[in-house]
Structure 1
Amino acid sequence: MTDIPTETNGHRPTDPAAPLELTVLPARPPVGAEGDGPGAEVVSIETARDRRTPSPLTVPAPRPETPAGAPAPVLEGEVVRVDVLGEADRDWRAELAEKNRTRRPIVPLWLRSRTDAIETLRWAGEYAAYVAGYQLARTPLYAGRLAVRAPRGLARLVAGMVRWTFDLEGEPVRLSAVQKADPEAYLKLSRQRDSRVRLRVWVSGAALVTLLIASIIVASVPTAAQWTALAVAVAVLGVIGRPADRPLIDRAVIPTRVEKLTSDIVVRALTVLGVSGLNAKADVNFVAPITRDGPGWRADVDLPYGVTVTDVMDKRERLASALRRPLGCIWPEGDSSIHEGRLILWVGDKDLSKTIVKSPLDKAGSHDVFKGIPFGNDPRGRLVTVPIIEHNILIGSQPGQGKTASVRELAAGIVLDVTTEAWFHELKGTGDLDPYEKVCHRYVSGIDDASIGYAADSLALLRKEVMRRAAALKTLPADLCPDRKVTRAIADKRSLGLHPLVCIIDECQNLFAHAEYGDKAGEDAEFIIKLGRALGVVLILATQRPDKDSLPTGISANVSIRFCLRVAGQLENDMILGTSAYKNGIRATVFQPKVDAGTGYLVGATPMAKVVKAAYLDTPATQRIADRAHALRAAAGVLSGHAAGEQPEATAPAYDLLADIAAVLAAGEAKVWNETVVDRLADLRPEVYGPWAEQEGPARTAQLTNALKPYGIKTGQVWGTPPGGGKGANRIGIVRDDILTAITERDGKKGFGAGS
């Protein structure tokens, strides 16, 4: 084949929607090479696009035969159709998608939330009603002002009519022409005045005649119409006679001193914080106009490159000073879903620390815990609900920061649900939860050893209850329990015994740090938190001393919802809110002692960490809720335990599961079936393990598997033979070395902790 020279190897059709055609030409031999090589030149799509001029000399070469199933080769001079979207097309689509994502919403922010819309409309309605009432109450005052100003208005009206009729407003100009001895200008102005006066005299005369006729007509009508006409005349004359410096109508609402948030104010405030990279020359970009958002202003800002939202949050006090607002009005937060430099600055009209959040439960007839519990408001006044089912909650703070008040609010929602069993333990001894005593299945208030022992017994009973529920849930049919977790339909069937059970332990550090009960209580609590979530068992812990001794790490690491009020430092902050919370800008150290009581960071209840002020229930309000709850439960016939006057349930005897398993395993047994271990444990301690052995088949095996999970021991398939001989088989079992290793590690940690 003869090479045909050409200036381009790409051809783009005139129609931009048509596919790109590429012509592959033979490769030219290098300089100095002999003959023409048969190879083809490799042409990139980008190069073909850059070469726009088609060549009429390009001749396609015949296609050789290709074996069946093999990809057809690209031949010299062949026109190739490119129908697949290229990188440019994908980039264009990605850019369009990005633009669509960042479009401003058509519906305003306050209309996108039903709560915000109702709050805004309610405020507007209350404002309009107040202004209307204020002005109506002052109607007699305004009438008196009009009557006093009417004579002055009449004089102004008559004087104005005379000046207009005789063109007296042009008199100074005519006098100026006389003084300048300009006869031509004076004559011209005089003729203009005479023309105006002739017309205006007729108009004024017609107006006076009309007014006279109207007066005669009014004089002949009933007295009510006469008074109405007089009132209208006085009102008109009063308006005409008003002084320039004294308006007729008073202001119903005096404007506040809070200035509107503007971009200049925000930039000025940010650039004086002393943050590196954030100065007067820095590029602060507003991604959306500053708008009203609830009772305050919202500014969405992209900080300069290299500056993070955490840098600004660290300077919250200086930011409040720069904005000339109280600290409780300034709430900067980030939106890491976009990038770490996206700042959402919300500046409220009122100081959050001076706001008392009223609980919706104060007037609620009943409540459903499966819908969560209304907990408090965020700085923008929006209600925040905390989910309860399938969660465990940890609350921590320094003393006096509103921790117990937060617990009271959660307890109110719990007792108002008649299907929920309440176990409340207040280990401070001040009686903060005493109003709820009448509806609790288990209740204690005190700081003595007996009270702490009672709480420890509750955790032991709960552990046993978790194991019972795990076995009971397995027996439920799939149509009733498809997800293997407690639902509202299951909870309503009281006979199943799978209703929600919520255990509150306030001041839990007094339990977990106790020399006698602490270790076992910590193990039980960790077991309950890990396994009770799907079984309707909920643990709510509150502490004012978050450290490793008072709050075991196995507990703090596994709770799903955390609420941290004011704490002293980073260690306490991360103990409550989770590892790296302080580093990520979630810092409860920013709250002021006493001033921000009740305000804290809520993590896990919402997609992002949120500042929340918990609703406040005083003792009378708490008592009212407890009374309603008692009446509901009495009517439903669900009062039990302490509320029904029953004696405390006896707890299972104390035992060491790992030591007991090690005792029943022979030295030569490396692996043993679960069911065999359970039978031996039942022989060792019938009062403890007897109920385990009474279960059938898989339930007995699962009992031991679940009991070993808190210790990190996993069960699996092991080979064994039935007691007394028989055919060997693979069944779920344990490895003896795993038990011994767990005992060694546990005892080593206890020894280290005691020595340190």
Structure 2
Amino acid sequence: MTEQPQTHKPTGNEHQAEEQARVLRFPSERLNHDQTQAKAEAEAGAETQVIDGELVDDDRDQAAQVDQAQTEAGSSLIRREKREPVLPGWASSVEEFRETAKWAVSYAGHTLAFHAVRCPVYLARILIRVPQGTLRLLRGFLRWVTDAEGRPVRHAAADRADAAEYLRLSGQRDSRVRGRVYTTVGLGAAALAAFFLGREFLPEIVQYAIVAGALGTVGWLGAPADQPIASRAVEATKVPKLTSNAVEIALAALGISGINQAMGKGGEGIGFPKPISRDGKGWRADVDLPHGVTPGDIMDRREKLASGLRRPLGCVWPEADNGEHAGRLILWVGDQDMRKAKQPAWALRKGVRVDLFQPQPFGTDQRGRWVDLRLMFTSVAIGAIPRMGKTFALRELLLIAALDPRAELHTYDLKGTGDLDPLEKVTHAHGVGDDDEEIEKAISDLRKLRDELRRRAKLIRDLAKQGLAPENKVTPELAGKKSLGLHPIVIGVDECQVWFEHPDHGEEFEAICTDLVKRGPALGIIIMLATQRPDAKSLPTGISANVSTRFCLKVQGQTENDMVLGTSKYKQGVRATTFAWADKGIGYLVGEGSDAQIVRTVAGLDGPASEKVAAYARTLREQAGTLTGHAIGEAPEVDESVSKKDTLLEDILAVVGETEKKVWNERVIARLYELRPEVYGTYRESADLTAALKRHGIRTAQVWGTTDDNKGASRIGITHADIAQEVAERNRREGSG
């Protein structure tokens, strides 16, 4: 019997629906479809009737796959992984290993000395407690021999009137006591034999040692649990261990919506890609924050985070992990407040000779590790609000430079309090205060430094052609040759805003300092500028945008933060606004090509300590024969053009008559040169006169005039009335004063 296949005949509605439908196959179903379709129909033995059809382009039907299979080039056995260091941090760092070994030796020595002094007290305690210890020993021995530990079980059987169980336990007890009595007799006989043999053959010192050991053991047994024989040599300060639960509680307390949603029911939670572990003198936790939350959000709430962790503010330091994604947070919680922790000894405190071409220790990070800074080929900007340690940081850098006898120092304390006076004994040029005489000395010195910059640029170019300066910059070998004069020059200015805001020479100060910042590092000239008001006026944009080393202590806002540390640093999570008022000497350091890191400057480097370091530096310079200028009592040469009264306006009125309402700058410059060539010989372009008049509050503009050919033209010029009015007002002010 052959079973005929039944073919379903569609109804009218179904027929119409099938005519309007398109059948799309999955990609896996379309594979080898043409080859398998005929075979399938033959096996089924069915006749297929095509009702309606449409050619479908496979490429158009196949939907693009968004998530592609991950394929990596190379062997499948090779995995991308981040390997942990073989040795711990304290063993891989020479400085940390030295500190750890020093601590271990100190700890052992202290413990030994502590107990050695108290040996008589310990001996008295032992002798007093020997009777009590003997009683405890005998009591415990008798309990063991009589099987006292099984007595409660036997009493329980007797109370239940369980005769069989009681007889079994009693027999077991008799057997156990019998064995223990035999053991006691044997041990007693052996002890007597050992006693007599010891008295006969052992040296007396060994006998006394055995007796002392026995008494000590019995005395130790007699000591109460809360009154040990030996006192504690060190009282350990227990620091709470940082746990994932503590971190989650602290983060949840910050009031960040993204974290609250992640920590809520059904949220993704907070990830910990690495176990929380010890890192230096504290705990480190690597945290993957929820999507949309950045480390900067956490750093803004550092005080709340410390409250959530129940730790002092100076112990909690959240920071971004720039080596990973933007949501990776590194939370380091120290055992002790950073500003109170004992800092390792500064290697340069005793006057070690340094090489500015090599990194030198500048400060310590949160973990107590030294952070090195290379001063050569760099320029420095330091910013902070008052009383945060800005001047101390600048003085430390200048002391480091002073310990290189080749370096020529130029120090200017524009605050006038004498914070940089310890460097007087080694500096080539020194200024204190902002009076007219000091300003004249400073601008004269900077003009000479600008000329020196140009001389060095030309010399380096010539040396490069000879193959002596392969990178077109000063090298240690070139700096060591006195005949070339390419030794390092270090300029330190505290409260630099006084220069840049000066009414007469502010623009010249800014122009020279900007030139030194841009071109000086390659030519061996290092300029360090410190200010307590980091804004566009006190730290001009041309300077702040080009310094390569930045140190920012506490500031008030985002603008000041980015002015010192660089554009967009605040958005990147580098925020000196999070420092507390008590975090003096602690700031963000952005070094040469390195990521920002928190650094604490050398503690205890006050005035007297700086005097000692400067004295060492002077000794080194005396031996090298490099003391010059102010250090040996030479008076600075002041440019006469600075000390003389500025008579520009009066001179213009002398060469421009009242009938000339407006005159071009170029014609005024020509007339001024004829009047006083020794003063106005540097005025070569129209812009030179414009800049000079701007210092007096007078602006030039386009004015109409006629050329020598009687042709009209509009050029930059002055207005006679403006000059006359300014001279009259100045004379009136001087007369009233």
Between the aligned partners of 2:116 and 2:76, the Cα distance in structure 1 is 58
183-192 or 583-592, which deviates more: 183-192
Q: 1:361, 1:412 within 8 Å by CA — same for their partners in 2?
A: no
2:191 aligned with 1:211: yes
| Structure 1 residue runs without a partner (length 5+) | 1-45, 58-86, 657-680, 691-703, 711-739, 744-750, 752-756
Between the aligned partners of 1:143 and 1:689, the Cα distance in structure 2 is 96
TM-score normalised according to structure 1 size: 0.73
Q: What residue in structure 2 maps to residue 139 of structure 1?
A: 119
Between the aligned partners of 1:452 and 1:356, the Cα distance in structure 2 is 41
Between the aligned partners of 1:685 and 1:344, the Cα distance in structure 2 is 65
Between the aligned partners of 1:159 and 1:478, the Cα distance in structure 2 is 97
Using the TM superposition, give the Cα deviation of residue 126 of structure 1 relative to its aligned residue in structure 2, in angstroms: 3.5
1:218-267 CA distance string (max 9 Å, x none): 44455433322221111121233333443444333334252000111001
Using the TM superposition, give the Cα deviation of residue 302 of structure 1 relative to its aligned residue in structure 2, in angstroms: 0.6
Q: Which secondary structure does the structure 1 equivalent of 2:447 belong to?
A: helix
Q: What residue in structure 2 maps to residue 263 of structure 1?
A: 244
Using the TM superposition, give the Cα deviation of residue 526 of structure 1 relative to its aligned residue in structure 2, in angstroms: 0.8
Going from structure 1 to structure 2, the CA distance change for 1:630 and 1:49 (only over 3 Å counts) comes to farther
Pairing 1:711-722 to 2, within 5 Å after superposition: none
Going from structure 1 to structure 2, the CA distance change for 1:51 and 1:181 (only over 3 Å counts) comes to same
Q: Which amino acid letter does the alignment assign opposite residue 343 of structure 1?
A: L
Q: 1:653, 1:688 within 8 Å by CA — same for their partners in 2?
A: no
Q: What residue in structure 2 maps to residue 334 of structure 1?
A: 320
Q: What residue in structure 2 maps to residue 525 of structure 1?
A: 513
Q: Which amino acid letter does the alignment assign opposite residue 320 of structure 1?
A: A
Going from structure 1 to structure 2, the CA distance change for 1:597 and 1:478 (only over 3 Å counts) comes to same
Q: Which amino acid letter does the alignment assign opposite residue 286 of structure 1?
A: F
Q: Which secondary structure does the structure 2 equivalent of 1:360 belong to?
A: coil
Q: Which secondary structure does the structure 2 equivalent of 1:265 belong to?
A: helix
Q: Which amino acid letter does the alignment assign opposite residue 232 of structure 1?
A: G
Using the TM superposition, give the Cα deviation of residue 580 of structure 1 relative to its aligned residue in structure 2, in angstroms: 2.1
Q: Which secondary structure does the structure 2 equivalent of 1:613 belong to?
A: strand
Using the TM superposition, give the Cα deviation of residue 485 of structure 1 relative to its aligned residue in structure 2, in angstroms: 0.6
Between the aligned partners of 1:198 and 1:331, the Cα distance in structure 2 is 69
Q: What residue in structure 2 maps to residue 503 of structure 1?
A: 491
Going from structure 1 to structure 2, the CA distance change for 1:89 and 1:552 (only over 3 Å counts) comes to closer
2:158 aligned with 1:165: no
Going from structure 1 to structure 2, the CA distance change for 1:172 and 1:521 (only over 3 Å counts) comes to closer
Going from structure 1 to structure 2, the CA distance change for 1:356 and 1:244 (only over 3 Å counts) comes to closer
Q: What residue in structure 2 maps to residue 440 of structure 1?
A: 427
Between the aligned partners of 1:408 and 1:359, the Cα distance in structure 2 is 15
Going from structure 1 to structure 2, the CA distance change for 1:584 and 1:218 (only over 3 Å counts) comes to same
2:88 aligned with 1:102: no
Using the TM superposition, give the Cα deviation of residue 483 of structure 1 relative to its aligned residue in structure 2, in angstroms: 0.8
Q: What residue in structure 1 maps to residue 298 of structure 2?
A: 312
Going from structure 1 to structure 2, the CA distance change for 1:250 and 1:482 (only over 3 Å counts) comes to same
Between the aligned partners of 2:31 and 2:191, the Cα distance in structure 1 is 88
Q: 1:422, 1:503 within 8 Å by CA — same for their partners in 2?
A: yes
Q: 2:378, 2:592 within 8 Å by CA — same for their partners in 1?
A: no
Going from structure 1 to structure 2, the CA distance change for 1:219 and 1:105 (only over 3 Å counts) comes to closer
Pairing 1:181-220 to 2, within 5 Å after superposition: 181-220=161-200
2:336 aligned with 1:347: no
Q: 2:239, 2:335 within 8 Å by CA — same for their partners in 1?
A: yes
Using the TM superposition, give the Cα deviation of residue 566 of structure 1 relative to its aligned residue in structure 2, in angstroms: 1.5
Q: Which amino acid letter does the alignment assign opposite residue 176 of structure 2?
A: R
- Match of residue 491, structure 1, among 479, 487, 492: 479
Q: Which secondary structure does the structure 2 equivalent of 1:495 belong to?
A: coil
Between the aligned partners of 1:218 and 1:450, the Cα distance in structure 2 is 96
639-648 or 528-537, which deviates more: 639-648
2:410 aligned with 1:430: no
2:585 aligned with 1:598: yes
Between the aligned partners of 1:145 and 1:689, the Cα distance in structure 2 is 97
Between the aligned partners of 2:360 and 2:416, the Cα distance in structure 1 is 26
360-369 or 298-307, which deviates more: 360-369
Between the aligned partners of 1:629 and 1:50, the Cα distance in structure 2 is 84
1:419-466 CA distance string (max 9 Å, x none): 111111111211111121121111111221211221222211111100
Between the aligned partners of 2:28 and 2:154, the Cα distance in structure 1 is 86
Using the TM superposition, give the Cα deviation of residue 182 of structure 1 relative to its aligned residue in structure 2, in angstroms: 4.3
Between the aligned partners of 1:689 and 1:345, the Cα distance in structure 2 is 62
Q: What residue in structure 2 maps to residue 156 of structure 1?
A: 136
Q: Which secondary structure does the structure 1 equivalent of 2:425 belong to?
A: helix
Q: Which secondary structure does the structure 2 equivalent of 1:285 belong to?
A: coil
Between the aligned partners of 1:443 and 1:631, the Cα distance in structure 2 is 19
Q: What residue in structure 1 maps to residue 95 of structure 2?
A: 115
- Match of residue 613, structure 2, among 611, 614, 625: 625
Between the aligned partners of 1:198 and 1:394, the Cα distance in structure 2 is 90
Using the TM superposition, give the Cα deviation of residue 686 of structure 1 relative to its aligned residue in structure 2, in angstroms: 8.6
Between the aligned partners of 2:562 and 2:501, the Cα distance in structure 1 is 19
Q: Which amino acid letter does the alignment assign opposite residue 627 of structure 1?
A: A
Using the TM superposition, give the Cα deviation of residue 627 of structure 1 relative to its aligned residue in structure 2, in angstroms: 1.2
2:455 aligned with 1:456: no
- Match of residue 381, structure 1, among 360, 363, 368: 368
Going from structure 1 to structure 2, the CA distance change for 1:687 and 1:419 (only over 3 Å counts) comes to farther
2:288 aligned with 1:302: yes
Q: What residue in structure 2 maps to residue 408 of structure 1?
A: 395
Using the TM superposition, give the Cα deviation of residue 92 of structure 1 relative to its aligned residue in structure 2, in angstroms: 6.3
Using the TM superposition, give the Cα deviation of residue 499 of structure 1 relative to its aligned residue in structure 2, in angstroms: 0.8
Using the TM superposition, give the Cα deviation of residue 337 of structure 1 relative to its aligned residue in structure 2, in angstroms: 3.1
Q: Which amino acid letter does the alignment assign opposite residue 392 of structure 2?
A: A
204-213 or 489-498, which deviates more: 204-213
Q: Which amino acid letter does the alignment assign opposite residue 144 of structure 1?
A: A
% same residue: 46
Between the aligned partners of 1:648 and 1:605, the Cα distance in structure 2 is 34
Going from structure 1 to structure 2, the CA distance change for 1:247 and 1:50 (only over 3 Å counts) comes to farther
Q: Which secondary structure does the structure 2 equivalent of 1:91 belong to?
A: coil
Between the aligned partners of 1:639 and 1:132, the Cα distance in structure 2 is 51
Q: 2:89, 2:280 within 8 Å by CA — same for their partners in 1?
A: no
1:328-347 CA distance string (max 9 Å, x none): 11110002332111000000
Going from structure 1 to structure 2, the CA distance change for 1:100 and 1:354 (only over 3 Å counts) comes to same
Q: Which amino acid letter does the alignment assign opposite residue 602 of structure 2?
A: A
Q: What residue in structure 2 maps to residue 399 of structure 1?
A: 386
The number of residues matched between the two structures is 601
1:311-367 CA distance string (max 9 Å, x none): 111111100100111111111000233211100000011112324645332113211
Q: 2:354, 2:403 within 8 Å by CA — same for their partners in 1?
A: yes
Q: Which secondary structure does the structure 2 equivalent of 1:503 belong to?
A: strand
2:278 aligned with 1:292: yes
2:231 aligned with 1:231: no
Q: What residue in structure 1 maps to residue 657 of structure 2?
A: none
Using the TM superposition, give the Cα deviation of residue 642 of structure 1 relative to its aligned residue in structure 2, in angstroms: 1.7
Q: 1:456, 1:511 within 8 Å by CA — same for their partners in 2?
A: no
Between the aligned partners of 2:278 and 2:680, the Cα distance in structure 1 is 63
Pairing 1:671-750 to 2, within 5 Å after superposition: none
Q: Which secondary structure does the structure 2 equivalent of 1:522 belong to?
A: helix
Pairing 1:552-571 to 2, within 5 Å after superposition: 552-571=540-559
- Match of residue 418, structure 1, among 374, 380, 405: 405
Q: Which amino acid letter does the alignment assign opposite residue 137 of structure 2?
A: L
Q: Which amino acid letter does the alignment assign opposite residue 433 of structure 1?
A: L
Q: Which secondary structure does the structure 1 equivalent of 2:339 belong to?
A: helix
Q: What residue in structure 2 maps to residue 66 of structure 1?
A: none
Q: 1:427, 1:452 within 8 Å by CA — same for their partners in 2?
A: no
Q: Which amino acid letter does the alignment assign opposite residue 492 of structure 2?
A: I
Using the TM superposition, give the Cα deviation of residue 48 of structure 1 relative to its aligned residue in structure 2, in angstroms: 12
Going from structure 1 to structure 2, the CA distance change for 1:505 and 1:638 (only over 3 Å counts) comes to same
1:56-108 CA distance string (max 9 Å, x none): x9xxxxxxxxxxxxxxxxxxxxxxxxxxxxx86843659987x5243444443
Q: Which amino acid letter does the alignment assign opposite residue 339 of structure 1?
A: H
Q: Which secondary structure does the structure 2 equivalent of 1:224 belong to?
A: helix
Q: Which amino acid letter does the alignment assign opposite residue 429 of structure 1?
A: G
Q: What residue in structure 2 maps to residue 12 of structure 1?
A: none
1:387-437 CA distance string (max 9 Å, x none): 211111011111111111101110111111011111111112111111211
Q: Which secondary structure does the structure 1 equivalent of 2:234 belong to?
A: coil
